[in-house]
A and B are shown apart, each in its own frame.
Chain A
């Protein structure tokens, strides 16, 4: 159907109604979410602060914030393909960033990015887990 036919005078009311509903849809979704949550706020995205015992990350903060996924893949290539072990491991991240839920998961959930690291890798979160993992 041509746009001029779809938007002729007779159909304008329907078109405008559909658009108004479309525009109000996110607001409706928000209100439904609010009711479903029982009136509680969604917890804010929060990144755990690094353990102060270590004074620096393996790379600069800005770099890690934007390119940590590429960085991890590079290390994986080095280890798996070239056999070069640089000492940086995923489990080693946990030395400073102790809480996987707060360090990885919340932000990834908010950004709708799936994490497939932990299908294989273990991320120790408590000291007991660390000791039992031999770290």
Chain B
């Protein structure tokens, strides 16, 4: 990594007349800051959607028009400065990068076309890589060259699990169906115990990576300069989490977006569809040990079982939201922002997961064997791509944005409050 030493005061953007030597020996009490521009970071930003970065001439229009920026130390002007200077460490520990919901009001109003919205999106990708464990997985997810490998990993693992199914199942004491036994649907090929153990094992790794990522990010956030020195919490942790959950459920912050206001609707659909499917899956996995719901899970599910109805509606909600997202990104790119490969990876993985799920369902109702098993196998490989790669893909925003929002709530850095609004922009 190339580094060049430049010095400046802690206040970015203020021109400094003193020579580096003067700054180091200064006696006025202000601490000099040694800036080590991370040139590799700037180069990577240019390749991942932040190529407009250098256009910024620090006018501050973006911060003024941002409907989500708080009054003090608003974003994204200061983030633009840090990005131009390659100050990666500050950006990684900055909550504002995640308080941004990519409305693109800044990008459409920018007089220089620096597209701060897209730059912050590229910074978020770098943050996901920075906090990922292991980091190379997050780099693979962000690079189209690794698609075959990313698909081959779950495919090979699942194939191995199926190949050794009966031996593993017998050794672990699970019920292995025999030839003359009457069994249902997918059970002979992919019994529930196999899916639960397979996704349980790799899900545990993903959960560990998620916890480590949140922990590292939270540790960095505590020291973040965005709060000012010695910040005092204005809310308890519990109250902050509750408020943030309510804000996420209602998509409160999204509703302030003006340029890309459609995002608040498409994301709403995908969000609730995902919650519905996740909950149905969790209930089904925990069903055997939960007497309250055990009786409901009799296979095959009736099409009119409440769980089946909810799951189908959830899938349709995701599909509708995703089609809206894809449409907006393809045909309203100037409003929805530049879509990097990292963005498309999540969108298409999500789309293929839901589409392959519905295809499997239809093939199953059509009783097409082995087509339905093949479709189910593909569906499971894609589900792996969505859930197990969660801490490494853009889906990790649900870890880091939530964390940043909780911190912001706790330290009174409230976004979207109309206090500063009502000026020339409205």
Contact = CB atoms under 8 A, between A and B. Distances in A.
A131 to B, nearest CB: 28
Interface string B290-313: 011111101110111011011001
A88 interface: no
A116 interface: no
Given A25-B306, A26-B306, A111 B295 contact: no
A128 to B, nearest CB: 27
Interface string B122-153: 00000000000000000000000000000000
Contacts of B180: 49
Contacts of B261: 4
Interface of A: 3-4, 7-9, 12-13, 15-16, 19-20, 22-23, 25-27, 29-31, 33-34, 37, 39, 41-42, 44-45, 47, 49, 61-62, 65-67, 110-112
A9 B67 CA distance: 14
Contacts of B293: 27, 30-31, 34
B367 interface: yes
Contacts of B172: none
Contacts of A47: 182
A25 B268 CA distance: 19
B294 A7 contact: no
Interface stretch (B24-32, B250-258, B407-415): B250-258
A34 B255 contact: no
Nearest to A103: B182
A110 B250 contact: no
B272 A23 contact: yes
B255 A30 contact: no
Interface string B182-208: 101000000000000000000000000
B237 interface: no
A9 B310 contact: no
Contacts of B184: 45
A67 B298 CA distance: 21
A109 to B, nearest CB: 9
Contacts of A15: 250, 268
B299 A45 contact: yes
A7 B265 contact: yes
A8 B292 contact: no
A39 B367 CA distance: 35
Contacts of B304: 112
